Amino acid sequence: MLDLAKRKTIDLLIEQFWKQGYLTISRRFGTYLPEPAKVGNFVVDIIAKHKKNYAIGITLTGDDFKDSQILEKIIYLATRQTKFSGKMVLLYIGVYTMYYKNAKVLVESIEPGIRKNIRLVQISERSSIQIRKSGDRRNALFS
């Protein structure tokens, strides 16, 4: 059950990456993409690329805020650079709306030089799609 919830949060964060124009290179709990390698000693959820810029994505849940190493993990991941060009790799942190304030306080406690490399993303479940009744065709483009 925990894997399904984590997979759902990763899917929602990937949607945010797509909105920013990123291409997913690897992801956790994926079917067709490989699992991302550990970055240092830390597990990441997503590795993505946009043109020549890379990004790392992690998702945080309520249990993650109780972890004593979460601040160390965020700082470490936010200071990563690409191997050859030395470009900074952006860190996207996806959190549900209910944990957004906790994450914001955590990120604001980091020094400004590192903080500029972190993007805090609020993720939420999409509302159900409303299906139009088949008899209601007055606004249909095609028949």
Residue scoring higher pLDDT (28 or 134):
28
Amino acid identity of residue 104, one-letter, is K
The whole domain housing 96 covers 2-123
Residue 52, in any domain of the structure: yes
CATH number at residue 110: 3.40.1350
Burial class (CB in 10 A: 0-12, 13-18, 19+), 9: buried
Q: What's the number of domains the chain is made of? A: 1
Distance from C-alpha of 26 to C-alpha of 35, rounded to nearest angstrom = 6
Q: Is residue 142, in this structure, part of any structural domain at all?
A: no
Q: What is the pLDDT of residues 75-85, one digit of tens each?
A: 999 998 888 88
Sign of the dihedral through C-alpha 48, 92, 74, 86: positive
Given a cut of 60, is residue 1 above it in pLDDT?
A: no
